Amino acid sequence: MLLIRCPYCEQERPEVEFSFAHQAHKPRPEAAGEPLDDHNWARWVYYQKNIKGVAHERWNHAAGCRKFFNAARDTVSSEIVATYKSGETPPVPESRIEGEDLSFDYENAEGGA
Amino acid sequence: MVAQPAKKQRFNALALFRNALSYHQNWEQQWRSPEPLEAYDVVIIGGGGHGLATAYYLAKEHGITNIAVLEKGWIGGGNTGRNTTIVRSNYLWDESAAMYEHAMKLWEGLTQELNYNVMFSQRGVLNLAHNLTDVRDTQRRVNANRLNGIDSIYLDAAGVKKVVPGIDLRGGGRYPVMGASYQPRGGTARHDAVAWENAGKCDEMGVHIIQNCKVTGFDIEGGVVKGVQTTKGRIGAKKVGMVPAGHSSVLASMAGFRLPVESHPLQALVSEPIKPTIDTVVMSNAVHAYISQSDKGELVIGAGVDQYISYGQRGSQHLAEETLVAICELFPQYKRMKMLRQWGGIVDVCPDASPILTSTPVDGMYLNCGWGTGGFKATPGSGHAFAAHIAKGEPTELTAPFALSRFETGFLIDEHGAAAVAH
């Protein structure tokens, strides 16, 4: 079980108090200046970076203060590098795969047949 | 140059006797480990059950034998060797029912076809219902199954007790058993054997099985795949089939696109071996617990997935604990048993709990992933359908509904109810 420090409660609490709330810092298509069409909507709702390495994630302190916050966590070792409040700048960058297209989130890549 | 087929040893009573005389020291390797050639017609990434089955059916049914199967570890070391070996096809929607029933029919002939005992044991599978909502959902699924020609039966509590005498229908008060879906043709199979013999048969037909070969990148020119970069150098490919359970997002990122999957650890555990106590498979979707007994006598128990994304092949202790609590409530006689081993594997879960079998934004590159918590049961069907998709270069009747485009059209195949592990 992970021990997670809630940045609002300023306490390290067991994982069972928290809910994983998926990828952090995911702008809605309009916020990124993209049209809200089926393609971009699907990307916002369903697609995930699913990073291997340090990833920025949202967590909810569901059985505590009930606030959402963000964590930078290594998805291989499960080490929590940092937790920080919503709206704050991530203290560490995410892991990247060499050659990965960073602009891809809103690039027009067809979903295939 | 095309890979040369190998002459194959046979497995039968005489061979067993002959090899016993030399203390079983002289069995041949079931597949060779060749160095990769410069290029292949098809490169399959991932030497798990699905990848090997894909190569097997490409060679056998589509006449393509110039194939390499790249495995980053060793054959049978990934999820193929980590699952709880359950096979069933009682899925709700027509699309999944077609896919899993296709697999079930192949399972039924697999031992004969491969001439290798995959120990397919149709001991029946029960999915328990613990409350009224479960009962209604289960009855709906059973009815849908029957319309699709799948042998599915709804059992009330007394019916469950008859099939599984050892179960405590009160479930300790916390998990009362009100009914179950029952598929008599469901059961278990020997997972290692499926991988080993698919590898052996592929090798026999001239497919190269290349182990310890990790893909590090792709050569893509003008949107067309030309080859893969690996830890054993560049390998050219006319077509690439990716079957990367657990790492599909990583591979897709290398190829420049992204997927709607999340990778989670799923864990299982086995007990000390005991005499036969349970001759069927009991699954409880609501409490993340499923149990069967192996031929060695161990209770094979599957637990739930961790809530967070992880690529570390281990699950959290508290999930195993929750599962064992439920197992002990349903089967109080197992309370004093000890667990011998616990392990985890990484499963790629789609938002609708259905897999992705698709062409990709890159020409010549095909993807088979996202089987989530229940890929093993589909092994031969997935390989068979994906091989046809790769050979034709376009979706087949079976694979078309599982295309990536379903996340845009909204034609999702929601199988959270039948997937048996809540996620």
pLDDT tens-digit readout, B318-340 = 999 999 999 999 999 999 999 99
Nearest residue of B to residue A107, measured between CA atoms? B257
Q: DSSP code of B314?
A: -
Pairwise CA distance, residues B144 & A12, whole Å:
48
SS3 B340: strand
Distances (CA, A) of B312 to B52, B139, B157, B368, B369: 24, 37, 39, 22, 18
Q: Which of B88-92, B219-223, B418-422 has the lowest mean pLDDT?
A: B418-422
pLDDT at B187: 96
Q: Token pair of B327, please?
A: 């197992």
Pairwise CA distance, residues B42 & B40, whole Å:
5
Q: Token pair of B104, please?
A: 């079930």
Pairwise CA distance, residues A77 & A73, whole Å:
9
Cβ atoms within 10 A of the Cβ of A18, count? 21
pLDDT at B418: 76
pLDDT tens-digit readout, B99-126 = 999 999 999 999 998 888 999 999 999 9
Q: Band the pLDDT of A109: cuts 50, 70, 90.
A: very low
pLDDT at B353: 93
CB-CB under 8 Å, A51 with B309: yes
Q: DSSP code of B205?
A: T
The number of C-beta contacts closer than 8 angstroms across A and B is 112
Q: What percent of chain A has pLDDT over 90?
A: 65
Pairwise CA distance, residues B95 & B398, whole Å:
7
Considering only residues 284 to 323 of chain B, which have any Cβ-Cβ distance to chain A shorter than 8 Å?
Answer: 307-312, 316-318
Pairwise CA distance, residues B202 & B79, whole Å:
19
Q: Measured between CB atoms, which of B263, B316, B395 is closest to A1?
A: B316
More confident residue, B12 or B339: B339
Torsional sign, CA A30, A35, A36, A39? negative
- Calculate the CA dihedral of residues B219, B221, B222, B226 and round it to 10 degrees: -80
- Pair B401, B410: CB distance under 8 Å: no
Conformation bin of residue B233: beta by default, left when phi > 0, alpha when psi is -120 to 50: left
Numbered residues of chain A with Cβ closer than 8 Å to any chain B Cβ: 1-2, 15-16, 19-20, 22, 38-39, 41-43, 45-52, 55, 57, 73, 75-78, 97-101, 104-105, 109-113
Q: Report the mean per-residue pLDDT for chain A.
A: 86
Domains of chain B by residue range: 117-186+262-349
Assess whether pLDDT exceeds 90 at residue A34.
no
Pairwise CA distance, residues B420 & A16, whole Å:
22
Q: Which residues of B touch A57 (CB under 8 A)?
A: 308-309
pLDDT at B158: 97
Q: Token pair of A47, please?
A: 């697609």
Q: Which of A48, A50, A98 should one mutate to test binding to chain B, selecting the residue with the greatest count of B CBs within 10 A?
A: A50
CB-CB under 8 Å, B250 with A97: yes
CB-CB under 8 Å, B394 with A42: no
Q: What percent of chain B has pLDDT over 70?
A: 97
Q: DSSP code of B5?
A: P
Q: Band the pLDDT of B10: cuts 50, 70, 90.
A: confident
Assess whether pLDDT exceeds 60 at residue B216.
yes
CB-CB under 8 Å, A50 with B261: yes
Nearest residue of B to residue A47, measured between CA atoms? B260
* Residue B220 Cα to chain centre, angstroms: 30
pLDDT at B420: 60
Which stretches of B148-263 are DSSP H helices?
Answer: 157-163, 191-204, 248-255
Q: Band the pLDDT of B56: cuts 50, 70, 90.
A: very high
CB-CB under 8 Å, A22 with B262: yes
pLDDT tens-digit readout, A43-92 = 889 998 899 999 999 999 999 999 999 999 999 999 999 999 998 999 99
More confident residue, B167 or A112: B167
Nearest residue of B to residue A105, measured between CA atoms? B258
pLDDT at A105: 47
- Alpha-carbon gap: B349 to the closest alpha carbon of chain A (Å): 11
- Exposure string over B71-93, b if 16+ CB within 10 A, otherwise e: bbeebbbbbbbbbbbbbbbbbbb
pLDDT at A103: 44
CB-CB under 8 Å, B361 with A112: yes
Q: Which residues of A touch B308 (CB under 8 A)?
A: 2, 20, 57, 73, 75, 78
What contacts A31, CB < 8 A, 6 or more positions away?
Answer: none
| Interval B186-196 mean pLDDT | 94
Q: Which residues of A touch B241 (CB under 8 A)?
A: none
| Interval B197-221 mean pLDDT | 94
| Interval B274-290 mean pLDDT | 91
Place of tokens 């060695």: B296
SS3 B351: coil
Which architecture does CATH list for A3-95?
A: 2-Layer Sandwich (3.30)
- Check if B153 contacts A (Cβ < 8 Å): no
Torsional sign, CA A58, A62, A68, A72? negative
Torsional sign, CA A98, A39, B259, B222? negative
Instruction: Name the CATH topology of B117-186+262-349.
Output: D-Amino Acid Oxidase; Chain A, domain 2 (3.30.9)
Q: Band the pLDDT of A99: cuts 50, 70, 90.
A: low
Residue A23, CB-side half-sphere exposure with 13 Å CA sphere: 20
Domains of chain A by residue range: 3-95
Q: Report the mean per-residue pLDDT for chain B.
A: 93
- Alpha-carbon gap: B369 to the closest alpha carbon of chain A (Å): 14
- Pair B188, B74: CB distance under 8 Å: no
pLDDT at B12: 83
Q: Is the ipTM of this complex over 0.85?
A: yes
CB-CB under 8 Å, A38 with B310: no
Q: Which residues of A touch B258 (CB under 8 A)?
A: 43, 47-49, 104-105, 109
